[in-house]
Chain A
């Protein structure tokens, strides 16, 4: 079965600290992996994607994600968190249009 998992419902970090939002996947063949962000009462916005090539993908708002084939992971990272990064983050696998359950990121001043 093809799936994507976000093992943490909630991530809390202090402003200025690095943040990581975790995502693991289970897909046969090459995965197409995405991260989306949802701000309160808004639709989802595209952050970044991995199709092929460099394992480190840079996206919007200073976010990046690292594709790790051996660990079947695609964790979202940012070197220095902002309070405005507080939102709901979704990892997705295109091949079966599956989304993770979401991780709520809270950045505290």
Chain B
């Protein structure tokens, strides 16, 4: 039982490049979330999904897009990466409490 799996774990992008972060869960949870974690700012919600085929904006959605085509997967996309998007990204699902993935450390140079 893997819980929540994020890929990749590390990535370095050049400004303007695009990439997709994948979050996969095997707990059959409806709710899935993408957060970014920055020093001194805690976790900030980027986008979330309340079920397959649905997505909604969180606190800091600009520069990101998401898709939830399958219940078990929640994808976070960066169309044109910027240095301000250098961060650690966490995916989470919500049953009776959040279950987090181990994170993706993204550096945009």
Listed in ascending order, the chain A residues whose CB lies under 8 Å from chain B are: 6, 9, 34, 36, 41-46, 49, 90, 92, 94, 97-102
Q: Cβ of A34 and Cβ of B98 under 8 Å apart?
A: yes
Contacts A9-B40, A99-B43, A101-B42 given: A43-B102 contact, CB under 8 Å? yes
Listed in ascending order, the chain B residues whose CB lies under 8 Å from chain A are: 4, 33, 35, 40-45, 48, 58, 90, 92, 94, 96-103
Q: Cβ of A90 and Cβ of B101 under 8 Å apart?
A: no
Of B48, B99, B100, B102, the most chain A CB neighbours within 10 A belong to B100
Smallest distance from the beta carbon of A74 to chain B beta carbons, Å? 14
Contacts A36-B98, A49-B97, A100-B42 given: A43-B90 contact, CB under 8 Å? yes
* Chain A contacts for B48, CB-based, 8 A: 97
Candidates B40, B45, B58, B98; contact of A44 at CB < 8 Å: B98
Contacts A43-B90, A43-B103, A97-B58 given: A34-B42 contact, CB under 8 Å? no
Contacts A90-B42, A97-B45, A100-B42 given: A34-B97 contact, CB under 8 Å? yes
Candidates A41, A46, A101, A102; contact of B97 at CB < 8 Å: A46
Smallest distance from the beta carbon of B54 to chain A beta carbons, Å? 15
Sample (29) of A-B pairs whose CB atoms are under 8 Å apart: A6-B42, A9-B40, A34-B98, A36-B98, A36-B100, A41-B103, A42-B103, A43-B4, A43-B90, A43-B101, A44-B43, A44-B92, A44-B98, A44-B100, A45-B100, A46-B98, A46-B99, A49-B97, A90-B43, A94-B94, A97-B33, A97-B45, A97-B48, A98-B45, A99-B43, A99-B44, A100-B42, A101-B41, A102-B43
**Closest B residue, CB atoms, query A36:** B98
**Closest B residue, CB atoms, query A101:** B42
